[in-house]
Amino acid sequence: METLSPPLTALFAFIFLQEKLSLIACTGILLTIFGVAWVIAERTAETALPSKHIWLGLGMSLLGQTANASGAILSRAAFTQIDIDPLWTAALRLSGGMTVMLFFFNRTNAESLKQLKAPKILGAIVLAAFLGTYLGIFLQQTSLKYAPAGIAQALNSTSPLFILPASVLTGEKVSLRAVVGVVVAIAGIALLLGLR
């Protein structure tokens, strides 16, 4: 479902920002999405939810991808109207997210914070938060400043592909299907990066 974000972003960008993409760009986006979806579908097939939860999960995922696409469009709109540094927009997005998280904070959440006393766990979480959250959002904002929203989101959706080399290094077997999916996604990325 996460691969719906780039086409939704491109559609919203066309409607609200009048960003038009060439046929080559659309083909590149579709190839990238298909390649990523092909890899993800294999990995998630083994961990499918019971059927009674599937519709709730699909609905929440669709809502999440719509929110993701809307956030990208709002960021892109801000970048096209004012000269603002992506570092500041990342800080603003994270502070907004932190405010919402604090609103939902309760005693149950506080109990789980006790597990963070172990230095090794705390260090891993701080590193993951910096790399995955702050640096990831900063780079996403930078891509939205300099590239059309649909293309930026398509490239941002390729993160699952980077897990495969790490899987190989840890001894996990990577299937031919996953390799084909990566090759298709890279072909889509090549089309996007070849655009002038």
Angstrom distance (rounded) from CA 37 to CA 56: 20
pLDDT surpasses 50 at 196: no
In this predicted model, what pLDDT tens digit does every residue of 99-123 receive, in sequence order? 888 888 777 776 777 777 778 888 8
What mean pLDDT comes out for the span 158-182? Answer: 83
In the chain, the percentage of residues whose pLDDT exceeds 70 is: 91
In this predicted model, what pLDDT tens digit does every residue of 25-37 receive, in sequence order? 888 888 888 888 8
1 contact partners, CB below 8 Å, separation of at least 6: 58, 61, 62, 64, 65
84 contact partners, CB below 8 Å, separation of at least 6: 78
CA 160 to chain centre: 9
129 contact partners, CB below 8 Å, separation of at least 6: none
- Higher per-residue pLDDT: 195 or 119: 119
What would the 3-class secondary structure string for 70-90 be?
A: HHHHHHHHHHHHCCCCHHHHH
- In degrees, rounded to 5, the angle at the alpha carbon of residue 151 between the alpha carbons of residues 146 and 154 is 125
Tokens of 157: 């959706």
Burial 58-68 (b: 16+ CB within 10 A, else e): eeeeeeebeeb
Q: Give the residue among 147, 148, 158 at the shortest CA–CA distance from 33.
A: 158
In this predicted model, what pLDDT tens digit does every residue of 46-92 receive, in sequence order? 555 566 677 788 788 889 989 989 999 999 999 999 999 999 989 88
Q: Helices then strands (H, E): number in the chain?
A: 10, 0
Question: Burial level of 185, CB count in 10 A (0-12/13-18/19+)?
Answer: buried
Domain ranges of the chain: 2-193
Tokens of 92: 């603003």
pLDDT surpasses 60 at 44: no
Inter-residue contact 72 to 152 (CB < 8 Å): yes
